[in-house]
A and B are shown apart, each in its own frame.
Chain A
Amino acid sequence: MTFEAFSIAEAILASAISAGTIYLIASVGECFTERAGVINLGLEGIMAMGAITSFLVTLAYGHLVAILSAALIGGLLGLLHAFLTVSLRLNQIAVGLAITWLGLGLSGFMGAPEVARDLLRALNPNVPSHLAELKQAPRLPDLRLGPLAETPIIGRAFFSQNVLVYAGVALAILLWFVLFKTKWGLSLRSVGENPALADSAGVNIYLVRYLAVMVGSALAGVAGAYLYIGYQPFWVEDLTRSRGFIALSLVILASWSPLRAIAAAYLFGGVEALQFRIPLRGFGAETPQLVMMLPYVITILTLIAISLASRGRIPAPAALGKPYSREE
């Protein structure tokens, strides 16, 4: 291999991991939610809210507070979702879409220059409010993990990224451990598989589902924060571009396992990385729209491939999407 090929491979791998982290954080959280039997189609809107929150709060108080606030906003939207779907037992698809549209509308509104300026002034009067109009916030710094960062090809991708990239992998492992190696995780999965049985065994279905939805939504908020401060720190309308819905389909690809979600997410990170690389090599340099279709077309192809590979027996949690009540 020539030096140029090396450096291209290195760059593509690094941006695949970087883009994949958006999907990773969101789909790991959604794995957790869906294992308890609730599907959260609000992911897209919650990510958008996480992104706008991180944009404004980073300017006002820095990265750490921004990430925490994005998680908080996500958790609150999750609370709304859980109240409507778990307590009122409303249709999970409809509620999720409503939250998505609310999040997209609100984040678009809050990101408009005149509104963003006022919000920033309200958050922290000491920060010059015109900063909000620039639509930019400082990016999360890269953490180079010592000499490992110098490893050829994989060094940049795996050992020289910002803290949320590492946190994404840690989260996947942690949630996998909780789900499959702890008593609590067993209860949560039983709620998603057979809530009536879990109920009779003394598991508090409502509490478990509320927590599962809120944790998943908080992570979607963090995924949105990462999308902005960790990946593309420039605010544009429709920043999320359906990534929340792609994350939802990655949960199926990962067959509801946070560990497999790592592979699925990085694979899609690779698709996104290619999408920006191909026009650089000539094709679609003038009109990149055809190349930009890649993630959407590949998502559809992935759903077909999953169906073919599993012969129509997709191992979804048995009670996914169904509200629970004791009497019916």
Chain B
Amino acid sequence: MQRRSTLNSLGLQVSFERRAEIGTRFSISVTLGMLILAFLVSGLIFQLLGFSAPQIYRSFFTTLTSAIMLEEVFRRSTPIILAAIGLCYSYRMGFWNIGAEGQLYLGMIAATGVVILQKAGIGLGEELLLPAVAAASMLAGGVWSLIPALLRIKFGANEIITTLMLNYTAILLADYLIHGPWKDPAGYGFAQTVAFPASSKFMIPGVSEAITYLMIVGVITALTYLVFRFTVFGFESRVLGLNIFASRYAGVPTASTLLRGVFISGALAGLAGLIVVSGLIGRMRPGASPGYGYHAIIASMLGGLYPPAVFMSSILFGMLLTGGDLLQAGIQMPKSGVEIIMALIFLATIVAEFVKRYRIRVLRLGRGVVA
């Protein structure tokens, strides 16, 4: 298949030929090449806006040079990995779930609710607190994600708009609870809930917090890889759209496959929310997530919806967030700087799809063309 776009007036013809086969090695090099390009363009933008690009690059590199920094990178990556692996389930079906951020907030809300009940003496007991908060956060995230799925199935409502609207709704609900009924009475007037007790945290004896999280998300990544590879469900969702950039019009998933996949997405985002409130910051606060649910979208697509690659891309994003904190403290770079880099990475991912699919040829029409 061939297609042309005409630049005939310039005496040039650009034609795009679809590649018959896309090799894995070629695919990876294109993605890495585009990633480097995204970093170069970000550097250029920062330089133009008055910040030193080399200093910015150095800060990101610094995050890999010490054990303490690496721990922080892994901690920040954890919610992104969970949400991003979850999103793969949605995206493989061509369901544009932009709602991980809201599902993550629902996870935080449910977990906090369970902790508040526990402190009021209504609970399953101290030793069952961790399973209880985990189940509550996953259930809440999953159910929240079913709303846009059902709206799409029953009313054909565009899931991009509904998931975005539900994100704002969830964040406002969290804000309401933090400022209102769930405000910690012993919190010196700060807008925050009670702290999560140690029994609600994931802990493996003798292992640091970051390594504990890495082991948990590693297992979930591996399980997802196996589900995609070897189960009927994985096969069904693969048929529906291996590649979200191309699959929008490729096929419509059956309602039950869609609901199952989207529920898993939401449940994993909910679990990410639990880790944020129980581990990363210890309690619910306004703006508890700096946008992990959005970072996860880009990470899952950068990883091509392939679980091991999604894991690696999420760690890159954890690195960007940690480096961004260093830059904010060091050279007062606004925190949205990291968002610019992430947006450019996303743009690069999309363009990489094009480069992988097509071979570009520039032909000269006729003779005597003056350059």
Chain A positions within 8 Å of B, measured between CB atoms, are: 41, 84, 87-91, 93-95, 97-98, 101-102, 104-106, 108-110, 112, 114-115, 118-119, 206, 237, 241-242, 245-246, 248-249, 252, 286-287, 289-290, 292-293, 296-297, 299-300, 303-304, 307-308, 312, 314, 321-322, 325-328
Q: Is the CB of B339 within 8 A of A307?
A: no
Q: Which residues of A contact B173 (CB under 8 A)?
A: 289-290, 293
Q: Which residues of A contact B166 (CB under 8 A)?
A: 296, 300
Bound Cα distance from A252 to B160, whole angstroms:
14
Q: Is the CB of B157 within 8 A of A307?
A: yes
Bound Cα distance from A240 to B354, whole angstroms:
31
> Which A residue sits closest to B301, measured CB to CB?
A94
Q: How far, in Å, is B26 (CB) from chain A's closest CB?
A: 19
> Which A residue sits closest to B172, measured CB to CB?
A289
If over half of A's interface residues share one DSSP class (helix, strand or loop), that class is named, otherwise mixed; here it is helix
* Residues in B39-94 with C-beta less than 8 Å from chain A: 45, 49-50
Q: Is the CB of B165 within 8 A of A300?
A: yes
Q: Is the CB of A94 within 8 A of B245?
A: yes
Bound Cα distance from A245 to B99, whole angstroms:
14
Q: How far, in Å, is B44 (CB) from chain A's closest CB?
A: 13
Task: Choose among B45, B180, B249, B334 the residue with the greatest number of A CB atoms under 10 Å from its CB.
Answer: B334
> Which B residue sits closest to A314, measured CB to CB?
B156
Given contacts A289-B172, A293-B172, A328-B1, contact A249 B158 (CB under 8 A): yes
Is residue B255 within 8 Å, beta carbon to beta carbon, of the partner chain? no
Q: Is the CB of A95 within 8 A of B162?
A: no
- Complex A-B: 6 CB contacts under 8 Å: A104-B339, A237-B336, A242-B164, A286-B180, A300-B161, A300-B162
Q: Which residues of A contact B311 (CB under 8 A)?
A: none
Q: Is the CB of A300 within 8 A of B172?
A: no
Picked from B96, B169, B294, B334, the residue with its CB within 8 Å of the CB of A93 is B96
Bound Cα distance from A325 to B6, whole angstroms:
12
Q: Which residues of B contact A102 (CB under 8 A)?
A: 340, 343-344, 347
Q: Which residues of A contact B162 (CB under 8 A)?
A: 300, 303
Q: A98-B346, A109-B337 are in contact. List 9 more A-B contacts (CB 8 A).
A: A90-B353, A102-B344, A104-B339, A105-B338, A106-B45, A106-B336, A106-B340, A303-B151, A303-B157
Given contacts A299-B165, A326-B3, contact A109 B245 (CB under 8 A): no
Chain B positions within 8 Å of A, measured between CB atoms, are: 1-5, 45, 49-50, 96, 98, 151, 154-158, 160-162, 164-166, 168-169, 172-173, 175-176, 179-180, 244-246, 248-249, 294, 297-298, 301, 332, 334, 336-340, 342-344, 346-347, 350-351, 353-354
> Which A residue sits closest to B183, measured CB to CB?
A287
Q: Which residues of A contact B336 (CB under 8 A)?
A: 104-106, 108-109, 112, 237
Bound Cα distance from A166 to B303, whole angstroms:
48
Q: Is the CB of B165 within 8 A of A297?
A: yes
Q: Which residues of B contact A287 (CB under 8 A)?
A: 175-176, 179-180
> Which B residue sits closest to A206, measured CB to CB?
B5
Q: Is the CB of A300 within 8 A of B168?
A: no
Q: Which residues of A contact B180 (CB under 8 A)?
A: 286-287, 289
Q: Is the CB of A108 within 8 A of B334?
A: yes
Bound Cα distance from A9 to B297, whole angstroms:
44
> Which B residue sits closest to A204, measured CB to CB?
B6
